[in-house]
Amino acid sequence: MEDGVIKQLGENLIVPGGVKIIEASGRMVIPGGIDVNTCLQKPYLGTQTVDDFFQGTKAALAGGTTMIIDHVSPQPGASLLQAFEKWHEAADKKSCCDYSFHVDIPHWHEGVKKELEILVQEKGVNSFQVYMAYKDLYQMTDTQLYEAFTFLKELGAVVLVHAENGDLIAQEQSKILGMGITGPEGHVLSRPEELESEAVFRAVTLGNRINCPIYITKVMSKSAADIVAQSRKKGSVVYGEPITASLATDGTHYWSKNWAKAAAFVMSPPLSPDPTTPDHLNTLLACGDLQTVGSSHCGYSTSQKAIGKDNFTLIPEGTNGVEERMSFVWDKAVAVGKMDENQFVAVTSTNAAKIFNLYPRKGRIAVGSDADIVIWDPDKMKTITAKTQQSAVEYNIFEGMECRGGPLVVISQGKIAFEGANLSMQQGAGHFIPRKPFPDYVYQRIKMRNKAMAMHGVSRGMYDGPVYDIPITQKYITPSPSAKTSPTKNQPPPIRNLHQSNFSLSGPQADDNVPRRSGHRIVAPPGGRSNITSLG
């Protein structure tokens, strides 16, 4: 490796003198992990996550992750571009590893489209997150989603979806608060996993209609994961991203007697209270139904969480996981035999690089790729605890869990960032990695389908039969109750009606079965119009 790039690969390499040599002695050398979902500078009610880009990327490197993709979260009404610049600057100064950005779209209007175009074409952002939750804040209606998806597809971007039904959550929240449940358990009670799977289903449906790739962030429940898996089987271009927390722990902790502990687990969508969830998600990850692993690392301190001590809806949402991500996937999937080491590399790094168009620069050990490499020790045992972690949060949601597998040496940008237990990194060393639109991995199929799915009208002769005359101005007019305007013969004028009702006592009439189309007010269509085919 030289200049942060892999120069040669093979046996018996010819290298210049004065090279630092690491003796791997047969250990696994894997591409550095890519954490596709972090929120290292997410503002909340005027506070900000305790893990900033420095703290967060330090933790990432310690866990074997050499690149993060962070979420830029502009506030509704604010400029996306400005938010992007702000995040960019913060990351530039503090980040210790390479990074890139997703931009969240908190609102939708014409101005946003312009900004998106600039972001995609000039700023190197190719993925945008939309929200189906957070009513009256970030949430978009189906119509807006339709427009956003259509637009983003044309730009060649990847659509990230936070999938939860915000309308129903709002209703459930007020119901549960009304019942006097104010603790963190209210969070999970008001966001049952059905609402997650419902939103996933809706997002996939929209994606299918528009023929737009969909990426579901934070797959937290079995049912949501099943929907992703099912729709992939039906051919939808959809990707699912479970996160560290959903792969390693479950939502039973929301009922913990310790408020601070329970609150530490608060995130959206919530962890599922079903303890078999992590296992299920790991299985789907191993078989390829879920593709990437993020951490959704968003660390708030206990005192920040305590903003919501009397009202669970105010608890800032976010869990840790950037540091533990790789180890837990190894421990839960590879060490138990669900997944092989190649698939491990795929889900922790390669797939993410492909989806977000970083491949083969990232996510692969090959000549010309970035020198982001991890030497992995499959047998390293570690007990997770907040005391030894790099993150600044006081509670680690994996506290006390033992986990097998971990990085021995982490090389980021050609430099050794982590060796043994020592972190050596430089604040601000991280580079922004711009990403191009239309990632092949995602868009190749989309492009073919666009061609295949062209729709055609039926060429048929012009309809020249009678047309019922309607009062054009009044669409959906209130029916004047007794005005019987049907043109068919069975509704004689009112006077006659009386007569008829006597009449029918004697049984059926000879002509009852004859549908009479005594035309009444029928307007012949104007002649000479061009045939309907000329439109199609």
Positions in 483-502 near other proteins (CB under 8 A): 483-491, 497, 500-501
Residues 6+ positions from 154 with CB-CB distance below 8 Å:
none
Taking the complex as a whole, the smallest distance from the CB of residue 304 to other proteins amounts, in Å, to 5
Binding to other proteins in span 58-87, by CB under 8 A: 74-79, 82-83, 85-86
Binding to other proteins in span 98-157, by CB under 8 A: 134-135, 137-138, 141-143, 146-147
Taking the complex as a whole, the smallest distance from the CB of residue 471 to other proteins amounts, in Å, to 5
Start-to-end CA span in the chain (Å): 59
- 293 with 244: CB under 8 angstroms? yes
Binding of residue 508 to other proteins (CB under 8 A): yes
How many other C-beta atoms are found inside a 10 Å radius of the C-beta of residue 312? Answer: 24
User: Residue 242 belongs to what H/E stretch?
Assistant: strand 238-242
- How much of the chain is helix, strand and coil, in % rounded to 5? 35, 15, 45
Give dist(CA 39, CA 50) in Å, integer.
Answer: 11
Task: Using the minimum distance from each CB to other proteins, give the nearer residue, 2 or 89.
Answer: 89
User: Residue 355 belongs to what H/E stretch?
Assistant: helix 351-355
Structure tokens at 419: 């060796």
Taking the complex as a whole, the smallest distance from the CB of residue 386 to other proteins amounts, in Å, to 11
- 522 with 487: CB under 8 angstroms? yes
User: Residue 222 belongs to what H/E stretch?
Assistant: helix 222-233
**What residues pair up with 215 in beta bridges, in sequence order?**
160, 239
Q: Which of 190, 394, 221 is nearest to 312 (CA)?
A: 190
Binding to other proteins in span 201-240, by CB under 8 A: 201-202, 205-206, 208-209
Binding of residue 180 to other proteins (CB under 8 A): yes
- Give the interface segment with other proteins, choosing from 46-54, 61-69, 156-164, 281-289 (CB under 8 A): 46-54
b/e per residue 98-110 (b: at least 16 CB within 10 A): bbbbbbbbbbbee
Taking the complex as a whole, the smallest distance from the CB of residue 503 to other proteins amounts, in Å, to 9
Identified binder of other proteins from the candidate list 7, 28, 113, 182, rule CB under 8 A = 182
Binding to other proteins in span 440-459, by CB under 8 A: 455-458
Taking the complex as a whole, the smallest distance from the CB of residue 247 to other proteins amounts, in Å, to 24
The CA distances from residue 110 to 115, 128, 148, 151, 233, in Å, are: 9, 16, 10, 11, 35
Give dist(CA 516, CA 81) in Å, integer.
Answer: 67
Task: Using the minimum distance from each CB to other proteins, give the nearer residue, 292 or 301.
Answer: 301
Task: Using the minimum distance from each CB to other proteins, give the nearer residue, 147 or 419.
Answer: 147
Identified binder of other proteins from the candidate list 158, 168, 293, 339, rule CB under 8 A = 168
Give dist(CA 134, CA 313) in Å, integer.
Answer: 11
- Give the interface segment with other proteins, choosing from 63-71, 97-105, 303-311, 350-358 (CB under 8 A): 303-311
- 62 with 418: CB under 8 angstroms? yes
- Give the interface segment with other proteins, choosing from 26-34, 153-161, 438-446, 461-469 (CB under 8 A): 461-469
Task: Using the minimum distance from each CB to other proteins, give the nearer residue, 440 or 468.
Answer: 468
Q: How many residues bind other proteins (CB under 8 A)?
A: 122
User: In degrees to the nearest 10, what's the CA dihedral of 377, 379, 380, 385?
Assistant: 130
**Amino acid, single-letter form, for residue 437:** P
Taking the complex as a whole, the smallest distance from the CB of residue 225 to other proteins amounts, in Å, to 15
Identified binder of other proteins from the candidate list 2, 122, 154, 255, rule CB under 8 A = 255
| CB-facing half-sphere around the CA of 528: CA atoms within 13 A | 1
Binding of residue 48 to other proteins (CB under 8 A): yes
Binding of residue 532 to other proteins (CB under 8 A): yes
Mask of contacts with other proteins, 321-360, x by CB under 8 A? ----------------------------------------
Taking the complex as a whole, the smallest distance from the CB of residue 116 to other proteins amounts, in Å, to 16
Mask of contacts with other proteins, 263-282, x by CB under 8 A? x-------------------
Identified binder of other proteins from the candidate list 5, 28, 307, 401, rule CB under 8 A = 307
Identified binder of other proteins from the candidate list 7, 27, 309, 445, rule CB under 8 A = 309
Taking the complex as a whole, the smallest distance from the CB of residue 42 to other proteins amounts, in Å, to 9
Taking the complex as a whole, the smallest distance from the CB of residue 372 to other proteins amounts, in Å, to 27
Give dist(CA 173, CA 30) in Å, integer.
Answer: 44
Identified binder of other proteins from the candidate list 16, 17, 26, 479, rule CB under 8 A = 479
